[in-house]
Structure 1
Amino acid sequence: MNRQYKKTTAMAFRCKADAALGFEYVDEGSRHVTGYTQTDLVEAGQVCLPDLIQQGEREQVRQQIQDGINREGSFAVQFSMVTKDKTVVEGILIGKGIFPKPLMISGIEGYIVRMQE
């Protein structure tokens, strides 16, 4: 990341720990970061976390999230984010696993940051 960014916007999120990684919660920043409303992401379930990741990066990002959770319980991953209007922008996922009991993950939560030059 040698670029200079003029603006960053962020949103908080929480996803289920299932294959789809469906959103359980997003804050009002979702519209500025992704173009999707809270209703689009949570209530309507139109978009899951992997849908925001450019197709060719999804497996690598999933693996980096899993590795971070396995190692230290948290992760920070740079990725190419696909917004509602199909624009690809630089993003960073920062989060951690949610463990209600040892060795039992119920979800992931954190922030999605949109970087703008």
Structure 2
Amino acid sequence: MLEAVIVIPVVVLLTMIVVQYVMLYHARNVTEAAARDGLRVARGYQGTAAQGKTAAEQYLTDVAPRLLVARTCDARRSTATVVIICRADVASVVPFGSFSVTEQAIGPVETFGT
């Protein structure tokens, strides 16, 4: 009985830590995909930074509305490059700590050539 009282909480806590790690890994992949999607839109021939930001934020909302909370995306477009940075807090199942992810995508602006 004493062993069960000691072992079961430890096993439950270790399981929660593994689940949190998997959630963090998935959140990182989703955030990276959102940044790439925003980049794809913003770097288009007549695309804008605002369109890229909207696309990235919409991707986060569509794909992981409950996993990623307090999500924001920033977009900058110059004449040569586009940068999209997405940040989000990850929902936590572990009773301690808070987790966040930040991913960025950088690419050249598409230009029309004759």
Which is helix-richer, 1 or 2? 2
Which is strand-richer, 1 or 2? 1
Structure with bigger gyration radius:
2
